[in-house]
């Protein structure tokens, strides 16, 4: 891209076509104050604080909307500009309450800082300040409209970038105020990602969990990686006296691949650290009862009862690589993990590529077209969904999605191929034929038009959402990898559902539960209802449980040892952008890795390598549905994929409820019995025309015992499970 020169305040600056004067100035260290403008939002030009003087222009112009032109001469600090800025700030402050001593934004407030630097020394305004007295309190977010400067950052962030359109301006003129459209955050469909709070320049949008808790300048700020889903988001954790006060994304400042965007788990799930269900001391079963013991005693029991025996090892995939290495050294390299579904997906991809890994998510920015295969990406890895949306609206990428259920991403998709689950693999095969044979017709105009778009393009194929939990995960992986391989110059990304799924796969030989033959059970950070749904704890002579909480498995264990949570750890994950680092300012009495380091290393009989048979063939359809059959998809709500749904009081405030969604043609009543081979439950049912015929979508607030039993025998599958539905 050819650059050109412009002059700002006497300094010659390099500019590129399409850049604004503000962008050029910021890149060259020239400060121009802004309120309505934000790096992650489209230019608005509403606040008028960024006014600059352009040589030859009759009046001042807004730098955030003014496109740089060759040989343009701009002045940002003349007397005329300074006076105009001061008058704008004076007008804003006329009706802004001066309550900095009690405002949570004090110390980070852009109005406060810009007012000191560019505002008038005193106000000429004598009339009483206008008070709106409109405070809207949601479960996690509060809007104080007295402090609002109507910059519309929150509205644009929620509507454009997040695709939610929850917030808007009600009334006009001096009566205008910001509010959820239905007057309530939950009823308006708020997903509580916290992005609106993060971009608010003043103290109008507040984090209620942080309100009146502390001051920004007193807290220690530590950058770490969120461990609560597979997105692996970089997040700032603010602490005071070694106690967490809040989690902040810092949109526009954050250098992580998530760009500062968080979801409800990452933003508000930090309070699981202080759950009243935290386990603090080891427990040992004696005479049928669990009694408290010391860590030294637990270590001796472990050496005596477990070390040297064959172990049934169960792992949850948010452990760090360092913890995994130590677990492998102590207990061997055979394990059962909740990464099994993701492993199946990677194994399908590896049958074409030859390696159990895929490209990084940032490859989407180098592509012409993004081809997404998967449903409910916004529920399982919300920030990945956000980044795909931003690639479309900010980078101009074409997004094509293949799935069975509607998605929020469909609103920005170039094309959406909505087909039943039984036709996913066949649809991909049609695309393979249509992409490389211009004379081929599939019988579907939509499929043929997508095949035409893919020809000769650099495509980023993304496998995400429920795809790793599909009965056909391996076959889908094969087919997409075959298409990417044939197309050439394409990238392929398989998004992990958990923070360190890839790390587990790289470290252990994953086994199916029925393949276990150990003498003792060792469960690390896992809960069977949540991570190994439908499975029972194998019978063994002794069971050890490493857990941060009092879980359902505690009464079944013979030895229970407390461990720390993700925000309390240092170490690394292997995520969608390679190695992700964890850091902490918190202190724990005993960490998992320190405890394991005191145990002797076992002898690994053989370092088995996963056998990868490279066939370079597409997958085969394995999922069928006969007339009258239903295919069940169990979807935990946005809050229900990990510990936050069980132990976070913040997140519990916005958790959903258990509901079965059926196509109107399949509806059997408001209360139905849902039955599978594993069990049955009675559940509330509603009509939803977006659900395909013959499919049943069960949304749950968390994996409870009855839901887990319903999926008995289905592990690791959550979608494509055959079921029956009858009126209660």
pLDDT digits (tens, 9 = 90+) for 33-67: 999 999 999 999 989 999 999 999 999 999 999 99
**3-state DSSP assignment of residue 235:** strand
Does residue 699 register a pLDDT over 80?
A: yes
- Which letter does DSSP use for residue 55 in this model? T
Domain at 630-727: CATH architecture? Beta Barrel (2.40)
Q: Which pair of tokens denotes residue 674?
A: 């849902």
pLDDT, one tens digit per residue, over 479-532 is 999 999 999 889 999 999 999 999 999 999 999 888 888 899 999 999 999 999
Could you give the percent of the chain with pLDDT greater than 70? 99
Strands 283-286 and 571-575: unpaired
pLDDT, one tens digit per residue, over 401-424 is 999 999 999 999 999 999 999 999
Does residue 605 register a pLDDT over 70?
A: no
**DSSP string across 296-346:** HHHHHHHHHHTTTS-EEEEE-TTS-HHHHHHHHHHH-SEEEETTHHHHHHH
Other beta carbons within 10 Å of 460: 26
pLDDT, one tens digit per residue, over 277-320 is 999 999 999 988 999 999 999 999 999 999 989 999 999 999 99
The structure tokens 């049958």 sit at 351
- CB 22 within 8 Å of CB 32: yes
Domain at 128-274: CATH architecture? 2-Layer Sandwich (3.30)
Please report the pLDDT score of residue 281 as a whole number: 94
- Mean pLDDT for 430-454 is 93
**Confidence bin at 1 (pLDDT 50/70/90):** low
Please report the pLDDT score of residue 125 as a whole number: 81
pLDDT, one tens digit per residue, over 216-263 is 999 999 999 999 999 999 999 999 999 999 999 999 999 999 999 999
**DSSP string across 348-380:** HHHHHHSSS----GGGGGG-SEEEEE-S-HHHH
Q: What global pTM score does this model have?
A: 0.95
Per the rule left: phi > 0, alpha: psi between -120 and 50, beta: everything else, 459 is beta
Short-list 722, 706, 702, 726, CA closest to 714: 722
Q: Which pair of tokens denotes residue 706?
A: 């009855």
**Cα 330 from Cα 603, distance rounded (Å):** 8
**Cα 726 from Cα 728, distance rounded (Å):** 6
**Confidence bin at 626 (pLDDT 50/70/90):** confident
Residue 85: its H or E element = helix 79-94
- Mean pLDDT for 14-24 is 94
- Which letter does DSSP use for residue 179 in this model? E
Does residue 643 register a pLDDT over 90?
A: no
Does residue 606 register a pLDDT over 80?
A: no
Topology alike, domains 4-77 and 128-274: no
Residue 362 CB-half CA count within 13 A = 8
E strands in 389-519 = 398-403, 415-418, 459-463, 491-494, 509-510
**Cα 157 from Cα 39, distance rounded (Å):** 11
- CB 576 within 8 Å of CB 363: no
Residue 580: its H or E element = strand 578-582
Please report the pLDDT score of residue 589 as a whole number: 84
Q: What number does CATH give the domain 283-337+506-596?
A: 3.40.50.740
Please report the pLDDT score of residue 268 as a whole number: 95
All structural domains of the chain with their residue ranges: 4-77, 128-274, 283-337+506-596, 340-494, 630-727
Domain 340-494 has CATH 3.40.228.10: yes
Domain range 4-77, CATH class: alpha beta
Residue 142: its H or E element = strand 141-144
Please report the pLDDT score of residue 608 as a whole number: 61
- Mean pLDDT for 107-136 is 87
């Amino acid at each position: 891209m050819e650059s050109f020169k412009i002059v700002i305040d006497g300094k010659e600056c390099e500019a590129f076509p399409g850049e604004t004067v503000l962008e050029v100035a910021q890149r060259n260290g020239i400060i121009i104050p802004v309120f309505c403008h934000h790096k992650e939002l489209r230019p608005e030009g509403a606040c008028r604080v960024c006014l600059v003087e352009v040589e030859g222009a009759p009046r001042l112009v807004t730098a955030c909307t003014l496109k740089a032109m060759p040989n343009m001469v701009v002045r940002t600090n003349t007397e005329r500009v300074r006076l105009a800025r001061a008058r704008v700030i004076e007008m804003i402050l006329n009706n802004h309450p001066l309550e900095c001593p009690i405002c949570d934004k004090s110390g980070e407030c852009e109005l406060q800082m810009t007012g000191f630097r560019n505002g008038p020394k005193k106000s000429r305004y004598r009339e009483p300040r206008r008070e709106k007295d409109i405070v809207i309190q949601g479960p996690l977010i509060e809007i104080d409209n007295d402090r609002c400067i109507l910059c519309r950052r929150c509205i644009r962030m929620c509507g454009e970038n997040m695709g939610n359109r929850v917030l808007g301006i009600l009334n006009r003129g001096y009566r205008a105020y910001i509010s959820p459209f239905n007057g309530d955050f939950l009823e308006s469909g708020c997903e509580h990602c916290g992005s609106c709070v993060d971009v608010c320049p003043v103290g109008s949008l507040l984090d209620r969990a942080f309100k009146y808790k502390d001051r920004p300048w007193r807290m220690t700020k530590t950058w770490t990686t969120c461990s609560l889903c597979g997105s692996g988001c970089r997040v700032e954790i603010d602490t005071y006296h070694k106690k967490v006060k809040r989690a902040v994304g810092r949109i526009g400042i954050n250098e992580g691949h998530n760009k500062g965007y968080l979801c409800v788990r990452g933003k508000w799930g930090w309070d699981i650290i202080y759950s009243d269900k935290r386990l603090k001391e080891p427990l040992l079963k004696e005479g049928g009862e669990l009694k408290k013991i010391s860590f030294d005693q637990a270590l001796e029991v472990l050496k005596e009862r477990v070390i040297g025996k064959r172990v049934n090892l169960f792992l949850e995939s948010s452990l760090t690589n360092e913890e995994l290495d130590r677990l492998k050294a102590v207990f061997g390299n055979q394990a059962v993990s909740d990464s099994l579904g993701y492993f199946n997906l990677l194994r399908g991809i590896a049958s074409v590529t030859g390696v159990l890994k895929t490209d990084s998510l940032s490859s989407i920015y180098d592509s012409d077209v993004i081809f997404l295969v998967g449903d409910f990406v916004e529920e399982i890895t919300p920030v990945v969904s956000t980044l795909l949306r931003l690639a479309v609206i900010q980078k101009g990428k074409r997004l094509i999605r293949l799935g069975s259920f509607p998605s929020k991403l469909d609103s920005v998709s170039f094309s959406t191929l909505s087909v039943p689950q039984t036709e996913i693999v066949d649809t991909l095969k049609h695309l393979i034929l249509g992409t490389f044979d211009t004379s081929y017709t599939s019988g579907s105009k939509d499929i043929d038009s997508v095949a035409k778009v893919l020809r000769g393009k650099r495509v980023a194929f993304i496998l995400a959402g429920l795809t790793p939990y599909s009965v056909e995960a391996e076959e889908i992986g094969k087919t997409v990898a075959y298409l990417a391989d044939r197309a050439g110059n394409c990238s392929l990304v398989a998004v992990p559902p958990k923070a360190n799924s890839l790390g587990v796969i790289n470290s252990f030989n994953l086994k199916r539960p029925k393949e276990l033959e150990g003498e003792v059970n060792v469960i690390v950070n896992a809960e069977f209802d949540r991570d190994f749904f439908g499975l029972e704890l194998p019978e063994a002579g002794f069971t050890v449980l490493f857990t941060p909480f009092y879980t359902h498995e505690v009464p079944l264990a013979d030895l229970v040892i407390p461990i720390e949570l993700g925000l309390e750890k240092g170490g690394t994950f292997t995520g969608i952008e390679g190695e992700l680092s964890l850091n902490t300012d918190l202190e724990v009495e005993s960490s998992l890795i320190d405890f394991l380091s005191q145990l002797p290393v076992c002898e690994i009989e053989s370092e088995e390598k996963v056998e990868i048979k490279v066939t370079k063939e597409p997958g085969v359809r394995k999922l069928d549905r006969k007339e009258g059959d239903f295919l069940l998809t169990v979807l935990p709500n946005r809050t229900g994929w990990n510990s936050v749904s069980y132990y976070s009081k913040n997140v519990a405030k916005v958790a959903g409820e258990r509901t079965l969604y059926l196509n109107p043609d399949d509806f059997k009543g408001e209360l139905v019995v849902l039955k599978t081979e594993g069990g049955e439950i009675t559940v509330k049912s509603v009509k939803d025309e977006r659900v395909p015929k013959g499919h049943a979508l069960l949304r749950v607030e968390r994996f409870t015992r009855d839901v887990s039993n319903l999926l008995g025998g289905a592990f690791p599958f959550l979608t494509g499970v055959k079921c029956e539905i009858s009126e209660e």
